[in-house]
Amino acid sequence: MNAAQQNRVAFASDVLERHGRLRTARMTLPLRSDEDVVALRRHVRERAVAIALSLVEQTKLVTAASELARNTIKYGGGGEAHLDALADSLRQGVCLVFVDDGPGIADIDQALRDGFTTGGGLGLGLGGAKRLVDEFDIESRTGEGTAVSIVKWKR
């Protein structure tokens, strides 16, 4: 990871830690190829099973992770996924942060709008991912890169 990427991951970590949560079982996976997406999906599924998410909730999290991973590869030029187990005093969760050092997203509201795409896609990935998880944050700087973090809690 270069310094800019480290800054973005540090930012995402700060956001989560400010809320007094404990993050454990950290794992970093590369995102360059379709095989990397397959591996990510498997690890995310394992984490979801570990906190006893229902099959439906597991699938929502895996689907959101897939969409964000594909964006990291397609638009970010590749990057990394950071997986963390989360716990506060009441519940357990899974946190994922997708980081790239690509062109960034100039207008995040526009990118989130259903149907907006710059790559000939359906433009449903970001908005869809947001609806499938409990927490969703995008930090992006034009010309520097993007970090998208998601959290799913066990209810």
Ligand X SMILES: Nc1ncnc2c1ncn2[C@@H]1O[C@H](COP(=O)(O)OP(=O)(O)OP(=O)(O)O)[C@@H](O)[C@H]1O
Q: Of 20 and 115, which has the nearer Cβ to ligand X?
A: 115
Q: Which of 117, 134, 137, 141 binds ligand X (CB under 6 A)?
A: 117
CA 140, CA 87: separation in Å to the nearest integer? 26
Q: Of 49 and 122, which has the nearer Cβ to Mg ion?
A: 122
Q: Of 51 and 149, which has the nearer Cβ to ligand X?
A: 149
Footprint of ligand X on residues 72-91 (CB under 6 A)?
Answer: 72, 75-76
- Show Cβ contacts of residue 65 under 8 Å, excluding neighbours closer than 6 positions: 40, 41, 44, 81, 96, 150
Q: Of 20 and 115, which has the nearer Cβ to Mg ion?
A: 115
Q: Which of 13, 58, 71, 149 binds ligand X (CB under 6 A)?
A: 71
**Footprint of Mg ion (CB under 5 A):** 71, 125
Query: Which chain residues interact with ligand X by CB under 6 A?
Result: 67, 71-72, 75-76, 100, 102-103, 105, 111, 116-119, 121-127, 146
